[in-house]
Amino acid sequence: MISNRIDKLIQNLQQTRDELETELDRLLEEKRKQFHYRLRRGKVIFDREVRKLQHLQRENSFLYLARSRIGFVISSPVIYGMIVPLVFLDLTITLYQHICFRIYDVPRVKRSDYVTIDRHNLPYLNAIQKLNCVYCGYGNGLIAYAREIIARTEQFWCPIKHARRTRGVHDREGKFFDYGDAERWKNELQKIRCDWEN
């Protein structure tokens, strides 16, 4: 009875997510019109006049650095030093999925669905701000990409919910077996291993 109610809530949540995605796509199209840009083969194209106006709002990189708090400048080697483990994660998680997911017959995660680097095209950003945006777009996209790969791995090998609620669970956990449900684990594991919708 409780499980049926939760299943219904999960179904409603998925429907709401689908509606949200549709609405976000519509809103993004409105924003493209409002700010006068379009996408052509994945590349951002601003109207020429808008690009000129935005370029005039760009702050000189040297002035930007001079006006920055000293702590921001001092912490930059720590922030940018994280590129090493991020690139290592990128290489290893990509290699992992290309080897293991082929063996397990798990659909591979498309990296470009998660890692989006486009904010450097904004004419009103200076070189330092563009570099920051590339870095953050890469880092956050990479973590989302890695999370989906790990979530698919968990769904294949251990689709069991935890005994206690945890924060930030991935979307695939809704399909997982309840903690302690040995019967469903035994009888339905293969079904869960093949359910790659959403």
Query: Mean pLDDT throughout 169-193?
Result: 90
Over residues 61-119, the pLDDT tens digits come to 989 888 888 998 899 999 999 999 999 999 999 999 999 999 999 999 999 999 999 99
Task: Name the pLDDT band for 18 (thresholds 50, 70, 90).
Answer: confident
pLDDT at 115: 96
pLDDT at 50: 86
pLDDT above 90: percentage of residues in the chain: 57
Stated pTM of the model = 0.84
Tell how far CA 167 is from the center of its chain: 17
Whole-angstrom distance, CA of residue 145 vs CA of residue 142: 5
Whole-angstrom distance, CA of residue 185 vs CA of residue 192: 9
- Residue 94 burial (10 A CB sphere; 0-12, 13-18, 19+): middle
Tell how far CA 71 is from the center of its chain: 29
pLDDT at 184: 92
